[in-house]
Amino acid sequence: MSTQEQEQEHEVDLVVVGLGPGGEALATGAAQAGLDVVAVDKHLVGGECPYYGCIPSKMMLRAADGLAEARRAGTLAGDVEVTASWAPVARRIREEATDDWDDSVAVRRLADAGATVHHGTARLDGVRRVVVELRDGSTRRYTARRGVVLNPGTRPAAPPVAGLEGTPYWTNRDAVRATEAPASMVVVGGGPIGCELAQVFARFGTRVTLLQHGARLLPHDEPEASAVLERALADDGVRVVTGAEPSEVSYADGGFTVTLGEERVTGDRLLVAAGRTPNLDGLGLETVGLDPTARSVEVDERLRAAEGLWVLGDVTGKGAYTHVSMYQSAVALRDVLERDGAPASYHAVPHVTFTDPEVAGVGMTEQQARDAGLRVRTGSTAMEQSSRGFVHGPGATGLVKVVEDADRGVLVGATVVGPAGGEVLGALAVAVHAAVPVEVLRTMVYAYPTFHRAIESALADLGI
Ligand SMILES: Cc1cc2nc3c(=O)[nH]c(=O)nc-3n(C[C@H](O)[C@H](O)[C@H](O)COP(=O)(O)OP(=O)(O)OC[C@H]3O[C@@H](n4cnc5c(N)ncnc54)[C@H](O)[C@@H]3O)c2cc1C
Ligand SMILES: NC(=O)c1ccc[n+]([C@@H]2O[C@H](COP(=O)([O-])OP(=O)(O)OC[C@H]3O[C@@H](n4cnc5c(N)ncnc54)[C@H](O)[C@@H]3O)[C@@H](O)[C@H]2O)c1
């Protein structure tokens, strides 16, 4: 070890590596509780969600929904002329959401809470030990008396398609920085990112082809939900190709060509949204006895992964969502501070894909419940058949589906597809989380004519 590194050796209470939503919140809470905290991020404090993920993509969707609603107003309320412009979207993302991808405000907030904040790349160097390579090229070594928290997140995965590497393809990180909507785009991947962004650009006039590997979009949701979304995207002009096996990508004269069997699909832009790679490489996991090549780190119900080590967020494999990262952060913070509290439980994790219609789910799908060996009953209803769906008219497509553990008489899962589907899901998330008996749910009064009243019809469809 050089003399300079020796001089930079420090003892603190806690080191937080990776400041995604969970890491940032935990570092803030621990510092406010009086611990001596060092918080390190190699890029932007706050992580993927505020700068490249949830927030900019939801701003894009809000704008795209505005266009769609204006076009629907033409059917409902007379003639409306809509001229789409990307400029306000780009401005809002740059100025309001990301501060031009500058995290100074977040750094100051964390420092004001009492933490020492570093921009640098950190790795474990044994139990309770961390090495940080700072941006100025210097190195600091920390020993953490309480321990270390890892919240390193994921990066866009590059699927093994010949020719892809080396082309200027987009990931979500480029799409949210777009300064205009391209004339045409090929999207690889029909998960939440691919579906949300395909709809956004299509509504801004981009000719979009969406290529999805498997049999359906959003394969982790109910098949009925995938079918509704596929129709909705088609109505927006998206060409959805399922069962797609892109074999080659080439880029020439400002355009991409994707080979799909005998067919060549072209686009001015290629957006790759084909899953994520966990940032577990180069983290020194092997120095504490963990496997750096694993897809996720196994954690217990207090987010402990090894002696003096807590791990949070997408890399725990409990749901790659900001709300999971934040939820885990609160559980782990209590453990770090040696306070009592409920252990982590994942039986009622909700998720929402913010397409129009929104696709929202909580708990198990029907198939997952059957695979778990439960005696399953399901009930469903079409949103269009509800009074509110009828009144709403254009854009009211969707469904509510409930999955019951018939032996216990409680819901173990539910799906809502429809306008504000994520909001309607709230009631069902309570039901699954608290295991409210179906008989009790049936005695509730559901306001007329709301979208959530469709829950009553889905419960009725379960049978007696
Ligand atoms: C386009 C898109 C849309 C999304 N929309 C939603 C949504 O609507 N709702 C939702 O709930 N979720 C959404 N997500 C997912 C959400 O962004 C993530 O689940 C969320 O950011 C939580 O991730 P995380 O806590 O694991 O860490 P991340 O947010 O990934 O942050 C990890 C941080 O660790 C840092 N880091 C990594 N390695 C090191 C290291 N060695 N040293 C120092 N720092 C390091 C990184 O720089 C990064 O800042 C979306 C994601 C994308 C890409
Ligand atoms: N609204 C939200 O909550 C939201 C929005 C966006 C992302 N996210 C989170 O981010 C995670 C990552 O999103 P994502 O959409 O990139 O990943 P994903 O893994 O959920 O979906 C990627 C899809 O791409 C397909 N695919 C993979 N390789 C392919 C190929 N070569 N050709 C065609 N299709 C291919 C897969 O079949 C898969 O369905 C999500 O799982 C989710 O947890 C959440």
Quote the Cα angle for 44-45-50, to 5°: 80
The CATH H-level (homologous superfamily) assignment of domain 3-46+103-155+277-336 is FAD/NAD(P)-binding domain (3.50.50.60)
Confidence of residue 329 (pLDDT cuts 50, 70, 90): very high
Length of the chain: 464
Q: How far is the CA of 270 from the centre of ligand 2 (A)?
A: 15
At the topology level, CATH places domain 350-461 in Enolase-like; domain 1 (3.30.390)
269-272 and 255-260: which strand pairing?
A: unpaired
The CATH H-level (homologous superfamily) assignment of domain 172-274 is FAD/NAD(P)-binding domain (3.50.50.60)
Residues of the chain with CATH 3.50.50.60: 3-46+103-155+277-336, 172-274
Confidence of residue 9 (pLDDT cuts 50, 70, 90): confident
Atom of ligand 1 nearest to the CA of 172: 1
For residue 193, pLDDT over 60 is answered with yes
Helix (H) or strand (E) holding 319: none
Confidence of residue 1 (pLDDT cuts 50, 70, 90): very low
Query: For residue 161, what pLDDT is reported?
Result: 98
Give the pLDDT confidence of 275-311 residue by residue, as tens digits.
999 999 999 999 999 999 999 999 999 999 999 999 9
User: What pTM was estimated for this model as a whole?
Assistant: 0.97
Give the pLDDT confidence of 117-135 residue by residue, as tens digits.
999 999 999 999 999 999 9
Query: For residue 299, what pLDDT is reported?
Result: 98
Pocket of ligand 2 contains residue 421 by CB under 6 Å: no
- Substitution site in 42, 48, 59 for ligand 1 pocket (most atoms within 8 Å of beta carbon): 48
- Substitution site in 54, 60, 173, 174 for ligand 1 pocket (most atoms within 8 Å of beta carbon): 54
Confidence of residue 264 (pLDDT cuts 50, 70, 90): very high
Q: How far is the CA of 154 from the centre of ligand 1 (A)?
A: 6
Q: What single DSSP character describes residue 162? A: B
Pocket of ligand 2 contains residue 190 by CB under 6 Å: yes
For residue 323, pLDDT over 70 is answered with yes
Query: For residue 141, what pLDDT is reported?
Result: 98
Pocket of ligand 1 contains residue 191 by CB under 6 Å: no
Query: For residue 430, what pLDDT is reported?
Result: 98
Please give, one letter per residue, the 3-state secondary structure of 202-239: HHCCCEEEEEECCCCCCCCCCHHHHHHHHHHHHHCCCE
For residue 229, pLDDT over 70 is answered with yes
Nearest-CA residue for atom 21 of ligand 1: 49
**Average pLDDT estimate for 176-186:** 98
Supply the mean pLDDT for the chain: 97
Nearest-CA residue for atom 7 of ligand 1: 54
d(CA 335, CA 303): 9
Any residues with CB less than 8 A from the CB of 148 and at least 6 apart, and which?
Answer: 14, 15, 16, 17, 124, 128, 129, 130, 308, 309, 310
Confidence of residue 463 (pLDDT cuts 50, 70, 90): confident
Give the pLDDT confidence of 38-64 residue by residue, as tens digits.
999 999 999 999 999 999 999 999 999
Pocket of ligand 1 contains residue 53 by CB under 6 Å: yes
Q: How far is the CA of 192 from the centre of ligand 2 (A)?
A: 5
Residues of the chain with CATH 3.30.390.30: 350-461
Query: For residue 3, what pLDDT is reported?
Result: 46
Per the CB < 8 A criterion, the answer to whether 38 and 118 are in contact is: yes
Pocket of ligand 2 contains residue 243 by CB under 6 Å: no
Nearest-CA residue for atom 25 of ligand 2: 189
Q: How far is the CA of 319 from the centre of ligand 2 (A)?
A: 12
